[in-house]
Amino acid sequence: MPSMGLIVQKFGGTSVGDAQKIHRAARRAIRAKLHGQRVVMVVSAMGRTTDKLVALAREVSSTPPKRELDVLLTTGEQVSIALMAMAIHEGGHEAISLTAAQLGLMTDSVHTRARIQRIERQRLERELEKGRIVIVAGFQGIDQAGEITTLGRGASDTTAAALAAVLRADACEIYTDVDGVYTADPRLVPNARKIDRISYDEMLEMAAAGAGVMHARAIEFGMRFSVPIHVRSSLTDVHGTMIMTETQGMEAIAIRSVTLREDLAAIFIIGMSNDPGLVSTLFSEIAKHNIVVDDIIRNIYDNGQRANIGFVIPAESSAVAREVTDRLAKEHGFQSVEHHSRVSKVSAIGVGMRSHSGVAAKMFQALSDAGIEIHTISTSEIVIGCVVSSGDGPRALTAVHDAFELSNPNGAGDAT
Ligand code: ADP
Ligand code: ASP
Ligand code: MG
Protein backbone atom coordinates (compact mmCIF):
# COMPACT_ATOMS: atom_id res chain seq x y z
CA MET A 1 0.00 0.00 0.00
CA PRO A 2 1.48 3.42 -0.89
CA SER A 3 2.34 5.43 2.22
CA MET A 4 -0.16 8.18 2.99
CA GLY A 5 0.92 11.78 2.64
CA LEU A 6 1.20 13.94 5.71
CA ILE A 7 0.16 17.53 5.90
CA VAL A 8 0.47 20.14 8.67
CA GLN A 9 -2.25 22.80 8.64
CA LYS A 10 -1.83 25.83 10.90
CA PHE A 11 -4.74 28.18 11.67
CA GLY A 12 -3.98 31.63 13.03
CA GLY A 13 -6.05 33.57 15.57
CA THR A 14 -8.49 35.20 13.16
CA SER A 15 -9.02 31.87 11.39
CA VAL A 16 -10.37 30.35 14.62
CA GLY A 17 -11.93 33.59 15.92
CA ASP A 18 -15.43 32.15 16.56
CA ALA A 19 -17.35 28.87 16.52
CA GLN A 20 -18.22 29.22 12.85
CA LYS A 21 -14.60 29.73 11.88
CA ILE A 22 -13.53 26.79 14.01
CA HIS A 23 -16.03 24.65 12.10
CA ARG A 24 -14.71 25.96 8.80
CA ALA A 25 -11.13 25.05 9.77
CA ALA A 26 -12.31 21.63 10.98
CA ARG A 27 -14.00 20.99 7.63
CA ARG A 28 -10.79 21.83 5.83
CA ALA A 29 -8.81 19.32 7.88
CA ILE A 30 -11.51 16.67 7.36
CA ARG A 31 -11.39 17.30 3.63
CA ALA A 32 -7.62 16.67 3.59
CA LYS A 33 -8.20 13.49 5.61
CA LEU A 34 -10.82 12.30 3.13
CA HIS A 35 -8.27 12.86 0.37
CA GLY A 36 -6.08 10.27 2.05
CA GLN A 37 -3.75 12.57 3.99
CA ARG A 38 -2.66 12.18 7.57
CA VAL A 39 -3.39 15.55 9.14
CA VAL A 40 -1.73 17.46 11.98
CA MET A 41 -3.37 20.78 12.82
CA VAL A 42 -1.65 23.56 14.74
CA VAL A 43 -4.00 26.11 16.22
CA SER A 44 -3.47 29.60 17.69
CA ALA A 45 -5.51 31.24 20.42
CA MET A 46 -8.89 32.57 19.26
CA GLY A 47 -8.93 36.10 17.84
CA ARG A 48 -7.13 38.59 20.05
CA THR A 49 -7.09 36.31 23.11
CA THR A 50 -3.33 36.52 23.61
CA ASP A 51 -3.36 40.34 23.46
CA LYS A 52 -6.16 40.40 26.01
CA LEU A 53 -4.27 38.07 28.34
CA VAL A 54 -1.16 40.24 28.08
CA ALA A 55 -3.24 43.33 28.91
CA LEU A 56 -4.79 41.54 31.87
CA ALA A 57 -1.37 40.58 33.20
CA ARG A 58 -0.28 44.22 32.97
CA GLU A 59 -3.36 45.33 34.88
CA VAL A 60 -2.34 43.07 37.71
CA SER A 61 1.40 43.70 37.60
CA SER A 62 3.68 46.27 35.96
CA THR A 63 6.39 43.61 35.63
CA PRO A 64 4.69 40.21 35.47
CA PRO A 65 7.15 37.36 36.07
CA LYS A 66 7.86 35.74 32.70
CA ARG A 67 7.26 32.23 34.00
CA GLU A 68 3.75 33.23 35.05
CA LEU A 69 3.14 35.08 31.77
CA ASP A 70 3.86 31.81 29.97
CA VAL A 71 1.48 29.88 32.21
CA LEU A 72 -1.18 32.51 31.46
CA LEU A 73 -0.65 32.95 27.72
CA THR A 74 -0.65 29.24 26.87
CA THR A 75 -4.23 28.95 28.13
CA GLY A 76 -5.40 30.65 24.91
CA GLU A 77 -4.19 27.80 22.73
CA GLN A 78 -5.53 25.18 25.12
CA VAL A 79 -9.04 26.57 24.60
CA SER A 80 -8.81 26.50 20.81
CA ILE A 81 -7.34 22.98 20.46
CA ALA A 82 -10.12 21.51 22.61
CA LEU A 83 -12.81 23.34 20.63
CA MET A 84 -11.23 22.25 17.35
CA ALA A 85 -11.23 18.60 18.44
CA MET A 86 -14.92 18.95 19.38
CA ALA A 87 -15.70 20.45 15.97
CA ILE A 88 -14.03 17.53 14.21
CA HIS A 89 -15.91 15.01 16.31
CA GLU A 90 -19.08 16.90 15.46
CA GLY A 91 -18.16 16.42 11.79
CA GLY A 92 -18.03 12.66 12.34
CA HIS A 93 -14.26 12.18 12.45
CA GLU A 94 -11.77 11.25 15.12
CA ALA A 95 -9.45 13.87 16.55
CA ILE A 96 -7.35 14.46 19.62
CA SER A 97 -5.98 17.71 21.04
CA LEU A 98 -2.48 17.80 22.53
CA THR A 99 -0.69 20.46 24.54
CA ALA A 100 3.10 20.80 24.22
CA ALA A 101 3.54 18.86 27.46
CA GLN A 102 1.34 15.99 26.27
CA LEU A 103 3.12 15.85 22.96
CA GLY A 104 6.68 16.38 24.21
CA LEU A 105 7.60 19.60 22.43
CA MET A 106 10.77 20.43 24.33
CA THR A 107 12.32 23.89 24.49
CA ASP A 108 15.06 25.71 26.38
CA SER A 109 14.02 27.60 29.51
CA VAL A 110 13.96 31.17 28.18
CA HIS A 111 10.45 32.17 29.17
CA THR A 112 8.44 34.21 26.59
CA ARG A 113 10.96 33.49 23.81
CA ALA A 114 12.02 29.88 24.18
CA ARG A 115 13.55 27.92 21.32
CA ILE A 116 12.46 24.45 20.29
CA GLN A 117 15.11 21.83 21.05
CA ARG A 118 13.38 18.53 20.36
CA ILE A 119 9.98 17.15 19.46
CA GLU A 120 8.97 13.64 20.54
CA ARG A 121 7.37 11.76 17.67
CA GLN A 122 5.95 8.70 19.42
CA ARG A 123 2.69 10.16 20.69
CA LEU A 124 2.03 12.00 17.44
CA GLU A 125 2.68 8.93 15.34
CA ARG A 126 0.60 6.70 17.58
CA GLU A 127 -2.39 9.01 17.26
CA LEU A 128 -1.95 9.38 13.51
CA GLU A 129 -1.81 5.59 13.14
CA LYS A 130 -5.17 5.38 14.84
CA GLY A 131 -6.48 7.52 11.98
CA ARG A 132 -7.01 10.58 14.15
CA ILE A 133 -6.54 14.18 13.19
CA VAL A 134 -4.01 15.47 15.73
CA ILE A 135 -4.51 19.02 16.96
CA VAL A 136 -1.46 20.62 18.54
CA ALA A 137 -1.41 23.82 20.60
CA GLY A 138 0.77 26.37 18.81
CA PHE A 139 3.21 28.78 20.44
CA GLN A 140 3.90 26.67 23.55
CA GLY A 141 6.57 24.31 24.79
CA ILE A 142 7.89 22.64 27.88
CA ASP A 143 11.42 22.68 29.26
CA GLN A 144 13.50 19.90 30.86
CA ALA A 145 12.15 20.78 34.29
CA GLY A 146 8.56 20.52 33.08
CA GLU A 147 8.01 24.27 33.09
CA ILE A 148 5.63 25.78 30.53
CA THR A 149 7.31 28.06 27.97
CA THR A 150 6.21 30.13 24.97
CA LEU A 151 8.10 30.63 21.72
CA GLY A 152 7.50 34.35 21.14
CA ARG A 153 4.50 36.25 19.77
CA GLY A 154 3.25 34.87 16.47
CA ALA A 155 5.17 31.62 16.94
CA SER A 156 2.38 29.16 16.18
CA ASP A 157 3.84 29.33 12.67
CA THR A 158 7.07 28.00 14.14
CA THR A 159 5.29 25.14 15.93
CA ALA A 160 3.75 24.18 12.59
CA ALA A 161 6.98 24.36 10.58
CA ALA A 162 8.91 22.44 13.25
CA LEU A 163 6.28 19.68 13.32
CA ALA A 164 6.32 19.55 9.52
CA ALA A 165 10.11 19.18 9.66
CA VAL A 166 10.25 16.35 12.24
CA LEU A 167 7.37 14.47 10.65
CA ARG A 168 8.85 14.96 7.17
CA ALA A 169 5.50 16.37 6.07
CA ASP A 170 4.79 16.85 2.40
CA ALA A 171 3.65 20.39 3.07
CA CYS A 172 3.04 22.94 5.75
CA GLU A 173 -0.02 25.10 5.14
CA ILE A 174 -0.39 28.39 7.01
CA TYR A 175 -4.03 29.53 6.98
CA THR A 176 -4.45 33.20 7.78
CA ASP A 177 -6.57 36.30 7.11
CA VAL A 178 -4.75 37.27 3.89
CA ASP A 179 -4.57 35.07 0.81
CA GLY A 180 -0.77 35.00 0.71
CA VAL A 181 2.40 37.02 1.13
CA TYR A 182 2.15 40.41 -0.54
CA THR A 183 4.72 42.85 -1.94
CA ALA A 184 3.97 44.96 1.19
CA ASP A 185 1.54 44.69 4.09
CA PRO A 186 -1.81 45.07 2.27
CA ARG A 187 -3.22 46.91 5.30
CA LEU A 188 -0.65 49.69 4.74
CA VAL A 189 -0.28 49.56 0.95
CA PRO A 190 -3.70 48.81 -0.58
CA ASN A 191 -2.31 48.22 -4.08
CA ALA A 192 0.25 45.64 -2.91
CA ARG A 193 0.23 42.48 -5.01
CA LYS A 194 0.22 38.83 -3.99
CA ILE A 195 3.49 36.98 -4.62
CA ASP A 196 3.08 33.45 -6.03
CA ARG A 197 6.46 32.06 -5.03
CA ILE A 198 9.16 33.45 -2.78
CA SER A 199 12.50 32.04 -1.58
CA TYR A 200 13.13 31.13 2.05
CA ASP A 201 15.91 33.75 2.14
CA GLU A 202 13.63 36.56 1.04
CA MET A 203 10.82 35.55 3.39
CA LEU A 204 13.26 35.29 6.29
CA GLU A 205 14.52 38.82 5.62
CA MET A 206 10.95 40.07 5.25
CA ALA A 207 10.00 38.55 8.61
CA ALA A 208 13.08 40.07 10.25
CA ALA A 209 12.29 43.45 8.68
CA GLY A 210 8.79 43.50 10.14
CA ALA A 211 6.45 41.62 7.78
CA GLY A 212 4.19 40.15 10.48
CA VAL A 213 2.63 37.58 8.17
CA MET A 214 5.11 34.82 9.15
CA HIS A 215 7.24 34.16 12.23
CA ALA A 216 10.93 34.21 11.22
CA ARG A 217 11.87 30.99 12.98
CA ALA A 218 9.21 29.10 11.03
CA ILE A 219 11.03 30.01 7.84
CA GLU A 220 14.32 28.79 9.32
CA PHE A 221 12.75 25.36 9.97
CA GLY A 222 11.27 25.26 6.48
CA MET A 223 14.60 26.15 4.93
CA ARG A 224 16.70 23.76 7.03
CA PHE A 225 14.43 20.79 6.36
CA SER A 226 13.26 21.79 2.85
CA VAL A 227 9.59 21.89 3.80
CA PRO A 228 7.65 24.05 1.37
CA ILE A 229 5.37 26.46 3.26
CA HIS A 230 2.10 27.50 1.67
CA VAL A 231 0.66 30.74 3.09
CA ARG A 232 -3.02 31.00 2.16
CA SER A 233 -6.45 32.24 3.16
CA SER A 234 -8.62 30.27 5.56
CA LEU A 235 -11.71 31.71 3.84
CA THR A 236 -11.11 30.70 0.21
CA ASP A 237 -9.54 27.90 -1.79
CA VAL A 238 -7.34 30.12 -3.96
CA HIS A 239 -3.66 29.29 -4.21
CA GLY A 240 -1.63 31.46 -1.85
CA THR A 241 2.15 31.96 -1.73
CA MET A 242 4.70 29.14 -1.79
CA ILE A 243 7.78 29.79 0.33
CA MET A 244 10.39 27.50 -1.14
CA THR A 245 13.96 26.91 -2.26
CA GLU A 246 15.17 29.62 -4.62
CA THR A 247 14.70 28.82 -8.28
CA GLN A 248 16.56 30.38 -11.20
CA GLY A 249 13.85 32.77 -12.38
CA MET A 250 13.59 34.44 -8.99
CA GLU A 251 16.65 36.64 -9.52
CA ALA A 252 15.05 38.25 -12.56
CA ILE A 253 13.19 40.59 -10.22
CA ALA A 254 15.40 43.02 -8.28
CA ILE A 255 12.98 43.82 -5.47
CA ARG A 256 10.38 41.37 -4.27
CA SER A 257 8.83 43.30 -1.41
CA VAL A 258 9.04 46.31 0.88
CA THR A 259 8.49 46.15 4.63
CA LEU A 260 8.20 48.57 7.50
CA ARG A 261 9.27 48.25 11.12
CA GLU A 262 7.93 50.87 13.47
CA ASP A 263 9.16 49.49 16.78
CA LEU A 264 12.68 50.91 16.64
CA ALA A 265 14.61 53.69 18.36
CA ALA A 266 17.84 55.46 17.35
CA ILE A 267 20.67 57.09 19.27
CA PHE A 268 23.20 59.50 17.79
CA ILE A 269 26.32 60.39 19.74
CA ILE A 270 27.98 63.59 18.55
CA GLY A 271 31.62 64.43 19.22
CA MET A 272 33.12 61.56 21.14
CA SER A 273 36.86 61.13 21.11
CA ASN A 274 37.90 58.81 18.30
CA ASP A 275 39.15 55.97 20.45
CA PRO A 276 38.46 52.34 19.47
CA GLY A 277 38.56 51.40 23.16
CA LEU A 278 35.73 53.83 23.86
CA VAL A 279 33.61 52.42 21.01
CA SER A 280 34.11 48.97 22.48
CA THR A 281 33.14 50.21 25.97
CA LEU A 282 29.98 51.80 24.55
CA PHE A 283 28.75 48.65 22.82
CA SER A 284 29.75 46.29 25.62
CA GLU A 285 27.84 48.44 28.12
CA ILE A 286 24.81 48.27 25.81
CA ALA A 287 25.24 44.50 25.33
CA LYS A 288 25.23 43.96 29.10
CA HIS A 289 21.54 44.86 28.96
CA ASN A 290 20.85 42.30 26.18
CA ILE A 291 20.00 45.09 23.74
CA VAL A 292 20.19 44.08 20.09
CA VAL A 293 22.03 46.79 18.15
CA ASP A 294 21.57 47.28 14.43
CA ASP A 295 22.74 49.67 11.73
CA ILE A 296 25.81 51.22 13.34
CA ILE A 297 27.12 54.26 11.48
CA ARG A 298 30.30 56.13 12.37
CA ASN A 299 32.08 59.08 10.87
CA ILE A 300 35.36 60.63 11.88
CA TYR A 301 36.31 64.31 11.70
CA ASP A 302 38.67 66.89 13.19
CA ASN A 303 41.74 65.22 11.65
CA GLY A 304 40.79 61.86 13.12
CA GLN A 305 40.44 63.27 16.64
CA ARG A 306 36.68 62.99 17.05
CA ALA A 307 33.85 60.73 15.88
CA ASN A 308 30.05 60.64 15.63
CA ILE A 309 28.28 57.33 16.09
CA GLY A 310 24.65 56.42 15.45
CA PHE A 311 22.83 53.13 15.97
CA VAL A 312 19.37 51.59 15.98
CA ILE A 313 17.82 49.48 18.76
CA PRO A 314 14.37 48.06 19.57
CA ALA A 315 12.11 50.83 20.93
CA GLU A 316 11.45 48.80 24.08
CA SER A 317 15.17 49.11 24.94
CA SER A 318 15.27 52.85 24.40
CA ALA A 319 14.98 53.93 28.05
CA VAL A 320 17.78 51.63 29.22
CA ALA A 321 20.02 52.60 26.30
CA ARG A 322 19.40 56.25 27.16
CA GLU A 323 20.63 55.74 30.72
CA VAL A 324 23.77 53.96 29.49
CA THR A 325 24.66 56.55 26.85
CA ASP A 326 23.92 59.54 29.09
CA ARG A 327 26.17 58.09 31.78
CA LEU A 328 28.99 57.45 29.28
CA ALA A 329 28.50 60.95 27.87
CA LYS A 330 29.26 62.42 31.31
CA GLU A 331 32.17 60.10 31.98
CA HIS A 332 33.82 60.55 28.60
CA GLY A 333 32.80 64.07 27.63
CA PHE A 334 30.68 63.40 24.54
CA GLN A 335 29.58 66.68 23.00
CA SER A 336 25.92 65.62 22.90
CA VAL A 337 23.61 62.62 22.59
CA GLU A 338 20.41 62.68 20.52
CA HIS A 339 17.70 60.18 21.42
CA HIS A 340 14.90 59.25 19.05
CA SER A 341 12.60 57.02 21.07
CA ARG A 342 10.67 56.01 17.92
CA VAL A 343 11.97 55.64 14.40
CA SER A 344 10.79 53.58 11.43
CA LYS A 345 12.79 51.45 9.07
CA VAL A 346 11.73 50.78 5.53
CA SER A 347 13.47 47.80 3.91
CA ALA A 348 13.53 46.68 0.27
CA ILE A 349 14.16 42.95 -0.16
CA GLY A 350 14.96 40.75 -3.14
CA VAL A 351 17.42 38.03 -4.16
CA GLY A 352 17.64 39.80 -7.53
CA MET A 353 19.61 42.55 -5.79
CA ARG A 354 22.67 40.31 -6.14
CA SER A 355 22.60 40.74 -9.91
CA HIS A 356 20.94 44.14 -10.38
CA SER A 357 22.71 47.43 -9.85
CA GLY A 358 21.10 50.76 -9.05
CA VAL A 359 18.67 49.43 -6.44
CA ALA A 360 20.02 51.60 -3.62
CA ALA A 361 20.11 54.69 -5.84
CA LYS A 362 16.49 54.17 -6.83
CA MET A 363 15.39 53.72 -3.24
CA PHE A 364 17.19 56.87 -2.05
CA GLN A 365 15.72 58.83 -4.96
CA ALA A 366 12.20 57.66 -4.11
CA LEU A 367 12.60 58.81 -0.50
CA SER A 368 14.16 62.08 -1.53
CA ASP A 369 11.36 62.77 -4.04
CA ALA A 370 8.88 62.20 -1.23
CA GLY A 371 10.79 64.72 0.92
CA ILE A 372 11.75 62.07 3.48
CA GLU A 373 15.04 62.39 5.34
CA ILE A 374 17.10 59.19 5.76
CA HIS A 375 18.81 58.87 9.18
CA THR A 376 20.80 55.68 8.65
CA ILE A 377 21.26 53.15 5.86
CA SER A 378 22.10 49.48 6.14
CA THR A 379 22.70 46.98 3.38
CA SER A 380 23.21 43.25 3.16
CA GLU A 381 23.24 40.89 0.20
CA ILE A 382 19.50 41.01 -0.41
CA VAL A 383 18.23 43.89 1.77
CA ILE A 384 18.55 47.68 1.83
CA GLY A 385 17.13 49.35 4.92
CA CYS A 386 16.65 53.07 5.55
CA VAL A 387 15.78 54.47 8.97
CA VAL A 388 13.44 57.46 8.77
CA SER A 389 11.50 59.54 11.33
CA SER A 390 8.59 57.59 12.73
CA GLY A 391 5.94 59.86 11.21
CA ASP A 392 7.42 59.25 7.75
CA GLY A 393 7.25 55.42 7.91
CA PRO A 394 4.00 54.66 6.04
CA ARG A 395 4.75 57.28 3.37
CA ALA A 396 8.27 55.92 2.91
CA LEU A 397 6.86 52.42 2.47
CA THR A 398 4.45 53.53 -0.25
CA ALA A 399 7.08 55.67 -1.98
CA VAL A 400 9.53 52.77 -2.29
CA HIS A 401 6.76 50.32 -3.28
CA ASP A 402 5.67 52.72 -6.04
CA ALA A 403 9.21 53.45 -7.23
CA PHE A 404 9.85 49.76 -7.89
CA GLU A 405 6.37 49.40 -9.42
CA LEU A 406 5.63 46.44 -7.21
CA SER A 407 1.90 46.68 -7.87
CA ASN A 408 2.55 46.14 -11.56
CA PRO A 409 2.84 42.42 -12.42
CA ASN A 410 5.01 43.13 -15.48
CA GLY A 411 7.38 45.88 -14.49
CA ALA A 412 7.91 44.35 -11.08
CA GLY A 413 10.83 45.32 -8.98
CA ASP A 414 13.28 46.55 -11.56
CA ALA A 415 16.02 48.99 -10.67
CA THR A 416 16.05 50.73 -14.06
P1 ADP B 1 -2.42 34.95 12.00
O2 ADP B 1 -3.24 35.33 13.18
O3 ADP B 1 -3.18 34.13 11.00
O4 ADP B 1 -1.09 34.35 12.35
P5 ADP B 1 -1.13 37.47 11.42
O6 ADP B 1 -1.87 38.69 11.86
O7 ADP B 1 0.01 37.01 12.25
O8 ADP B 1 -2.18 36.30 11.20
O9 ADP B 1 -0.58 37.69 9.93
C10 ADP B 1 -1.43 38.12 8.91
C11 ADP B 1 -1.30 39.63 8.74
O12 ADP B 1 0.03 39.94 8.35
C13 ADP B 1 -2.14 40.20 7.62
O14 ADP B 1 -3.42 40.53 8.06
C15 ADP B 1 -1.34 41.41 7.15
O16 ADP B 1 -1.89 42.64 7.58
C17 ADP B 1 0.02 41.25 7.81
N18 ADP B 1 1.13 41.40 6.86
C19 ADP B 1 2.26 42.14 7.08
N20 ADP B 1 3.06 42.12 6.03
C21 ADP B 1 2.46 41.34 5.09
C22 ADP B 1 2.80 40.94 3.76
N23 ADP B 1 3.94 41.33 3.19
N24 ADP B 1 1.95 40.13 3.10
C25 ADP B 1 0.80 39.73 3.66
N26 ADP B 1 0.41 40.09 4.90
C27 ADP B 1 1.22 40.89 5.62
N1 ASP C 1 -1.36 33.23 20.14
C2 ASP C 1 0.03 33.60 19.98
C3 ASP C 1 0.15 35.09 19.69
O4 ASP C 1 -0.84 35.77 19.55
C5 ASP C 1 0.74 32.79 18.95
C6 ASP C 1 0.27 32.97 17.51
O7 ASP C 1 -0.83 33.48 17.28
O8 ASP C 1 1.03 32.57 16.61
O9 ASP C 1 1.24 35.59 19.62
MG1 MG D 1 0.79 35.13 12.79
User: 3-state SS string over 128-182?
Assistant: HHCCCEEEEECCEEECCCCCEEECCCCCHHHHHHHHHHHCCCCEEEEEECCCCCE
pLDDT at residue number 413: 62
**Nearest ligand (C-alpha, residue 44):** 2
Burial 38-76 (b: 16+ CB within 10 A, else e): bbbbbbbbbbebbeebbeebeeeeeebeeeebbebbbeb
Closest to 240 measured CA to CA, from 228, 248, 249, 226: 228
**CATH number of the structural domain 258-403:** 3.30.2130.10
> Which residues, judged by CB distance below 6 Å to any ligand atom, belong to the binding site of ligand 2?
12-13, 44-45, 50, 76, 138-139, 153-156
**Nearest ligand (C-alpha, residue 152):** 2
> Which residues, judged by CB distance below 6 Å to any ligand atom, belong to the binding site of ligand 1?
12-15, 44, 154, 176-178, 181-182, 184-187, 211-213, 257
Nearest CA to ligand 1 atom 1: 12
pLDDT at residue number 2: 47
pLDDT at residue number 414: 65
Closest to 346 measured CA to CA, from 298, 391, 396: 396
Beta-bridge partners for 377: 386
Closest to 102 measured CA to CA, from 83, 129, 82: 82
Closest to 224 measured CA to CA, from 138, 162, 159: 162
Nearest atom of ligand 1 to the alpha carbon of 184: 23
pLDDT at residue number 415: 58
Closest to 293 measured CA to CA, from 306, 304, 279: 279
pLDDT at residue number 290: 86
**Which DSSP category does 315 fall into?**
G
Closest to 138 measured CA to CA, from 124, 121, 155, 153: 155
Nearest CA to ligand 2 atom 9: 153
Measured distance CA(3)–CA(18) in Å, rounded = 35
Nearest 5°: the CA angle 351, 365, 380 is: 30
Beta-bridge partners for 31: none
pLDDT by residue (tens digit) across 230-271? 999 999 999 999 999 998 888 888 899 999 999 999 999 999
Tell how far the Cα of 151 is from the centroid of ligand 3, in angstroms: 12
Measured distance CA(28)–CA(133) in Å, rounded = 11
Measured distance CA(380)–CA(89) in Å, rounded = 50
Are the C-beta atoms of 212 and 224 separated by less than 8 Å?
no
pLDDT at residue number 179: 96
Architecture in CATH for domain 5-177: 3-Layer(aba) Sandwich (3.40)
pLDDT at residue number 1: 43
Determine the residue of 11, 14, 42, 44 to mutate for testing ligand 2's pocket, defined as the one with the most ligand atoms within 8 A of the Cβ atom: 44
Nearest-10 Cα torsion for 227, 228, 232, 234: -30
Tell how far the Cα of 48 is from the centroid of ligand 2, in angstroms: 9
pLDDT < 70 stretches in the chain: 1-3, 411-416
Residues of the chain with CATH 3.40.1160.10: 5-177
Tell how far the Cα of 270 is from the centroid of ligand 2, in angstroms: 41
Burial of 80 (0-12, 13-18, 19+ CB in 10 A): buried
Nearest atom of ligand 2 to the alpha carbon of 51: 4
Determine the residue of 156, 175, 234 to mutate for testing ligand 2's pocket, defined as the one with the most ligand atoms within 8 A of the Cβ atom: 156
- Radius of gyration over every alpha carbon of the chain, rounded to an integer in angstroms: 23
Residues of the chain with CATH 3.30.2130.10: 258-403
Tell how far the Cα of 286 is from the centroid of ligand 3, in angstroms: 30
